[in-house]
Protein backbone atom coordinates (compact mmCIF):
# COMPACT_ATOMS: atom_id res chain seq x y z
CA UNK A 1 0.00 0.00 0.00
CA UNK A 2 1.57 3.28 -1.05
CA UNK A 3 1.14 6.77 0.34
CA UNK A 4 -0.98 7.90 -2.62
CA UNK A 5 -3.48 5.11 -1.97
CA UNK A 6 -3.77 6.10 1.67
CA UNK A 7 -4.23 9.76 0.84
CA UNK A 8 -6.90 8.89 -1.74
CA UNK A 9 -8.73 6.75 0.82
CA UNK A 10 -8.58 9.47 3.45
CA UNK A 11 -9.81 12.13 1.03
CA UNK A 12 -12.84 9.99 0.24
CA UNK A 13 -13.97 10.19 3.86
CA UNK A 14 -15.68 13.54 4.10
CA UNK A 15 -15.83 15.46 7.33
CA UNK A 16 -19.41 14.97 8.31
CA UNK A 17 -21.93 15.74 10.93
CA UNK A 18 -24.38 12.88 10.64
CA UNK A 19 -27.88 14.16 10.06
CA UNK A 20 -29.20 10.84 11.36
CA UNK A 21 -28.09 11.66 14.92
CA UNK A 22 -29.82 15.04 14.87
CA UNK A 23 -32.96 13.47 13.44
CA UNK A 24 -33.00 10.82 16.15
CA UNK A 25 -33.21 13.58 18.75
CA UNK A 26 -35.95 15.25 16.71
CA UNK A 27 -38.27 12.24 16.73
CA UNK A 28 -38.34 11.77 20.47
CA UNK A 29 -40.78 13.31 22.87
CA UNK A 30 -39.87 15.24 25.99
CA UNK A 31 -39.89 12.01 28.01
CA UNK A 32 -37.41 10.37 25.60
CA UNK A 33 -39.90 8.03 23.96
CA UNK A 34 -40.39 7.86 20.21
CA UNK A 35 -43.00 10.22 18.84
CA UNK A 36 -44.62 8.02 16.21
CA UNK A 37 -46.21 10.98 14.44
CA UNK A 38 -42.79 12.60 14.01
CA UNK A 39 -41.33 9.28 12.85
CA UNK A 40 -44.01 9.03 10.16
CA UNK A 41 -43.58 12.67 9.15
CA UNK A 42 -39.78 12.40 8.76
CA UNK A 43 -39.79 8.89 7.28
CA UNK A 44 -38.33 9.83 3.87
CA UNK A 45 -35.78 12.23 5.33
CA UNK A 46 -34.69 9.57 7.80
CA UNK A 47 -34.23 7.06 4.96
CA UNK A 48 -31.95 9.56 3.19
CA UNK A 49 -30.02 10.22 6.41
CA UNK A 50 -29.56 6.47 6.92
CA UNK A 51 -28.16 6.21 3.38
CA UNK A 52 -25.74 9.07 4.10
CA UNK A 53 -24.58 7.36 7.29
CA UNK A 54 -24.07 4.05 5.50
CA UNK A 55 -21.97 5.72 2.78
CA UNK A 56 -19.89 7.42 5.47
CA UNK A 57 -19.35 4.09 7.23
CA UNK A 58 -18.16 2.47 3.99
CA UNK A 59 -15.72 5.29 3.22
CA UNK A 60 -14.41 5.16 6.79
CA UNK A 61 -13.92 1.38 6.57
CA UNK A 62 -11.88 1.77 3.41
CA UNK A 63 -9.66 4.42 5.02
CA UNK A 64 -9.17 2.27 8.12
CA UNK A 65 -8.24 -0.70 5.94
CA UNK A 66 -5.58 1.35 4.15
CA UNK A 67 -4.17 2.64 7.42
CA UNK A 68 -4.01 -0.86 8.89
CA UNK A 69 -2.12 -2.06 5.85
CA UNK A 70 0.47 0.66 6.39
CA UNK A 71 0.81 -0.13 10.09
CA UNK A 72 1.29 -3.84 9.42
CA UNK A 73 3.64 -3.51 6.44
More confident: 72 or 45 = 45
Domain boundaries, the chain: 3-71
Tally of CA atoms within 13 A in the half-sphere of 72 that contains its CB? 6
Q: Supply the angle between the helices 19-26 and 43-71 in degrees, to the nearest 10.
A: 140
Burial-class residue 18 by CB neighbours within 10 Å (0-12, 13-18, 19+). Answer: middle
Cβ(12)–Cβ(63) below 8 Å: yes
24-28, 39-43, 49-53, 61-65: lowest mean pLDDT where? 61-65
What mean pLDDT is reported for the chain?
Answer: 86
Q: Which residues pair with 28 in a beta bridge?
A: 34
Q: Is 80 exceeded by the pLDDT of residue 2?
A: no
Amino acid sequence: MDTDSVLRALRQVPEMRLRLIEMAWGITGEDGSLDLQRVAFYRLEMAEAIGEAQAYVQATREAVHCLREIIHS
